[in-house]
């Protein structure tokens, strides 16, 4: 039988009720990395809205890896309990609770978008300890990062593993390593941001070392019975940057390390890339990686229509579809999509009289 958007997806010991996944989306609503009632309501309403899995926003594995002071974190045990409440509710709705593990590298310490999104230093409520593979600022108004040394890189890898253990303690059933969008792991992948001459830079093998070591460390810290996904940017959209063929090659390596899905986004490395944004514009990369690397993929990016999302799965272009902004507008997108595609709709009992 051909898989479709509302076919279950089995990953290790877990079965997702459908292939609609809420994409990770920063909410800038945590306090010192700790989840608030906003997260319970935000994640909970999409779980009650029928999605098969939710990947909670980029959660910093170290405090200096936050994009903003209000990012979620997983660098301390105090982060576990409030997340546990949100994840327990998500799971109670038949939805797989997941979370993205992240380090922002040179893009750290900025204000929330609605406060301007601008970089801030320690004196303005951010911090000054900004790190990256090389001492190259993201943009003229960003701080010049410190180049990580061997000990600093080891600390980052261990922090990803420790964060995965805390995510599990909080009840997450899916973790995603954030290796996309120009954040720290991607900064090591891309020749635009990695100018190192040691074993962490230069060749493909060296530039991908951090992505591979983080994935291996998280896999070891995370139960074998549960899925691990990795989000990558398939291209920097810049000549001489990270590209789609390297992404295929990296995906093969990630699969060998126990990555269950490569979640395929693009861009984010440099501010001036020309990105040809259009409906479903990144799906072709998910398709290429799935075909050429033989790895399950997730497709994301301006997928907004039920028939469009269903076709991505039916045509074998990806195994799951991640939705971002449309789920901010329409928390019950999955219920409406199931109805429009003549599939059984995942409507909570409490809401049956509304449909």
Ligand X SMILES: Cc1cc2nc3c(=O)[nH]c(=O)nc-3n(C[C@H](O)[C@H](O)[C@H](O)COP(=O)(O)O)c2cc1C
Which residues are designated catalytic?
Answer: 183
Tell me phi and psi for residue 84, to 5 degrees.
-60, -40
Residue among 64, 100, 194, 269 that touches ligand X (CB under 6 A): 100
From the list 18-26, 78-86, 104-112, 121-129, the region that binds ligand X by CB under 6 A is 18-26
Positions 109 through 168 that interact with ligand X (CB under 6 A): none
Query: Shortest gap between Cβ of 309 and ligand X (angstroms)?
Result: 10
CB 217 within 8 A of CB 140: no
Positions 286 through 315 that interact with ligand X (CB under 6 A): 300-303
Residue among 42, 103, 107, 178 that touches ligand X (CB under 6 A): 178
Separation CA 91–CA 27 (nearest Å): 20
The CA–CA distances, whole Å, from 43 to 4, 6, 40, 206 equal 24, 20, 6, 37
**CB count in 10 Å sphere of residue 2:** 8
Element of type H or E holding 47: helix 37-48
**Of 83 and 300, which CB lies nearer to ligand X in the complex structure?**
300
Q: What pairing do the DSSP bridges indicate for beta strands 9-11 and 14-16?
A: antiparallel
**Of 206 and 270, which CB lies nearer to ligand X in the complex structure?**
270
For position 68 contacting ligand X by CB under 6 A, the verdict is no
**Of 178 and 212, which CB lies nearer to ligand X in the complex structure?**
178
Tell me phi and psi for residue 350, to 5 degrees.
-60, -25
Residue among 45, 324, 343, 348 that touches ligand X (CB under 6 A): 324
Concatenated DSSP letters of 221-272: HS-TTS-EEEEEES--SSTTS--HHHHHHHHHHHHHTT--EEEEE---SSTT
Separation CA 30–CA 68 (nearest Å): 10
What track of x and - describes contact with ligand X for positions 228 through 267 (by CB under 6 A)?
Answer: ---x---------------------------------x--
For position 108 contacting ligand X by CB under 6 A, the verdict is no
**Of 48 and 300, which CB lies nearer to ligand X in the complex structure?**
300
**Of 188 and 201, which CB lies nearer to ligand X in the complex structure?**
188
Separation CA 238–CA 346 (nearest Å): 42
From the list 144-152, 198-206, 232-240, 317-325, the region that binds ligand X by CB under 6 A is 317-325
Among residues 195, 91, 177, 85, which one has the least CA distance to residue 133? 195
Among residues 306, 326, 324, which one has the least CA distance to residue 314? 306
For position 275 contacting ligand X by CB under 6 A, the verdict is no
Query: Shortest gap between Cβ of 69 and ligand X (angstroms)?
Result: 15
**Of 206 and 275, which CB lies nearer to ligand X in the complex structure?**
275
Count interface residues toward ligand X (CB under 6 A): 20
Q: To 10 degrees, the CA torsion angle through 290, 232, 134, 165?
A: -120
For position 5 contacting ligand X by CB under 6 A, the verdict is no
Beta bridge partners of 175: 99, 228
Query: Shortest gap between Cβ of 91 and ligand X (angstroms)?
Result: 21
**Residue number of the CB atom closest to ligand X:** 324
Residue among 112, 275, 311, 326 that touches ligand X (CB under 6 A): 326
For position 78 contacting ligand X by CB under 6 A, the verdict is no
- For binding to ligand X (CB under 6 A), which residues are involved? 23-26, 57-58, 100, 178, 180-181, 231, 265, 300-303, 323-326
């Amino acid at each position: 039988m051909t898989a479709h958007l509302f076919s279950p997806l089995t990953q290790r010991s877990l079965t997702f009720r459908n292939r609609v996944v809420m994409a990770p989306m920063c909410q800038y609503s945590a306090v010192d990395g700790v989840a608030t009632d906003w997260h319970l309501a935000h994640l909970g309403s999409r779980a009650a809205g029928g999605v098969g899995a939710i990947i909670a926003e980029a959660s910093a594995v170290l405090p200096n890896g936050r994009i903003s002071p209000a990012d979620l974190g997983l660098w301390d045990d105090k982060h576990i309990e409030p997340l546990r409440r949100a994840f327990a509710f998500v799971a109670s709705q038949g939805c797989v609770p997941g979370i993205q593990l992240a380090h922002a590298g040179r893009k750290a310490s900025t204000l929330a978008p609605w406060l301007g999104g601008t970089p801030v230093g320690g004196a303005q409520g951010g911090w000054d300890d900004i790190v990256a593979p090389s001492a190259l600022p993201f943009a003229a108004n960003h701080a010049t990062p410190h180049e990580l040394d061997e000990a600093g890189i080891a600390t980052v890898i261990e922090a990803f593993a420790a964060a995965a253990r805390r995510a599990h303690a909080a009840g997450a059933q899916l973790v995603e390593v954030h290796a996309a969008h120009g954040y720290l792991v991607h900064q090591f992948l891309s020749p635009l941001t990695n100018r190192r001459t040691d074993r962490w830079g230069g060749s493909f093998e060296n530039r991908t070392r951090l992505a591979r070591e983080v994935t291996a460390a998280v896999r070891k810290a995370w139960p074998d019975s549960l899925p691990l996904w990795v989000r990558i940017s398939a291209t920097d959209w810049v000549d001489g940057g990270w590209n789609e063929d390297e992404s295929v090659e990296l995906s093969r390596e990630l699969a060998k390390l126990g990555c269950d899905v490569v979640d395929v986004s693009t861009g984010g490395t440099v501010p001036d890339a020309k990105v040809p944004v259009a409906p479903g514009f990144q799906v072709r990369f998910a398709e290429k990686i799935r075909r050429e690397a033989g790895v399950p993929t997730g497709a994301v990016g301006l997928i907004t229509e039920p028939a469009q999302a269903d076709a991505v799965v039916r045509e074998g272009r990806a195994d799951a579809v991640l939705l971002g902004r449309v789920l901010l507008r329409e928390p019950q997108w999955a219920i409406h999509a199931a109805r429009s595609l003549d599939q059984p709709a995942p409507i909570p009992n409490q809401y049956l009289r509304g449909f």
